Amino acid sequence: MSTAVRTRAYLDGAVLAEGFPVTAVSDYLDQPHVVVWVDFCAPVEADLRELAQELGLHELAVEDALSPHQRPKLDHYDTHLFLSSHVMRLDPDSGVPEASEVDAFVNSRWLVTVRKDDGFSLEPVLQRWDRSAQLTVHGAGFLLYGLLDVIIDSYFELISQFDDYYDTVSEALFSDTPLKPSGQRMWFEMRRSLVRFHRLVVPMREAISGLMRREHHAVDEAVYPYFQDVYDHVLRVTESTDALRDLVSTIVETNLSLRDYRQNQVMKMVTSWAAIIAVPTLITGFYGMNVPFPGNGRPFGVVMAVGLIVVLSVALYLVFRRREWL
């Protein structure tokens, strides 16, 4: 995949220019009050190294941006911050999770975003920025807020998917139809996706909390309420994932209990019918012995044997029915 680059420059709350080459970033930053955004999709090392020299990006942050599978985190450096975040989505048919990493270098006057792939679309982010472009006068903190706002809002869509799926699973628990193997696979994948999602959300709460610490001066006071709103959203997502994990545990325990109950019911029925069938086997076996017995060789003996079979079998059937074994 070739590297795709997008750029924008803001001045006094309006878009000054966009689509300019990365080599022109320094020229725009030389102008007072200009805020610059640069986005890389699937960059190679040379792309970031060139910009790192212009903006003074820390080599460890550049290394993290190029490395795959970073956990969500916020690192503080002398001239900028480095934020790693993830966007997650589910395959609706299989429940297999797919995550896209989105990293960001943050300074008061510039924001550099790095996407490992094109799984995260920038269009909602641009629309969010355009709705309140006047807030860019407070620096790149607003651009970071818009990015985080779109990412966290996407988490609510995932929560809704999990809720709908587990509502369906809960209703199917008490169905007499056993779960098909394909459904069991889907159940496993959804549980695994929820665990992975929880591992992504919890560090994001810590990262956003770090952005809001006033002693770090990472966020301008004017946009601080916006980050507070994002933090409230990520808290809601975290609480929802905790509740979903509890629900999944309850579903698993209920499913195991129902399975044991159904097995006991089957065993009761099998045992009951086995006991009823044992009665004629016992009586015919007794009368089949080659020894004299009451009614031997007479019609009376046949009537007595059949009567015993019928009476004892019916008696056992009524007893088992009363105890709800049949």
> Whole domain around residue 242: which residue ranges?
4-258
Tokens read off for 294: 């009451």
- Give per-residue pLDDT as tens, 52-62: 888 889 999 99
Q: Which residue has the higher pLDDT, 298 or 151?
A: 151
Same domain, 247 and 315: no
Same domain, 206 and 300: no
Residue 21 has pLDDT above 70, yes or no: yes
| Contact in structure between 251 and 305 (CB atoms under 8 Å) | no
Q: How many domains does the chain have?
A: 2
Tokens read off for 277: 């069938």
b or e along 98-120 (b: 16 or more beta carbons within 10 Å of the residue's beta carbon)?
ebbbbbbbbbbebbbbbbbeebb
Query: Could you tell me which of 240, 238, 214, 243 has the C-alpha nearest to residue 227?
Result: 214
- Give per-residue pLDDT as tens, 130-155: 998 888 888 899 999 999 999 999 99
CA-atom Rg of the chain in angstroms: 35
| Contact in structure between 40 and 114 (CB atoms under 8 Å) | yes
Same domain, 177 and 271: no
Residue 281 has pLDDT above 70, yes or no: yes
Same domain, 223 and 269: no
Same domain, 280 and 183: no
Residue 14's beta-bridge partner residues?
Answer: 11
Q: What value does the mean pLDDT of the chain take?
A: 83
Same domain, 116 and 61: yes
Same domain, 28 and 68: yes
Identify the pLDDT of residue 295.
63
| Contact in structure between 3 and 78 (CB atoms under 8 Å) | no
Strands 34-41 and 14-18, by their bridges, are unpaired
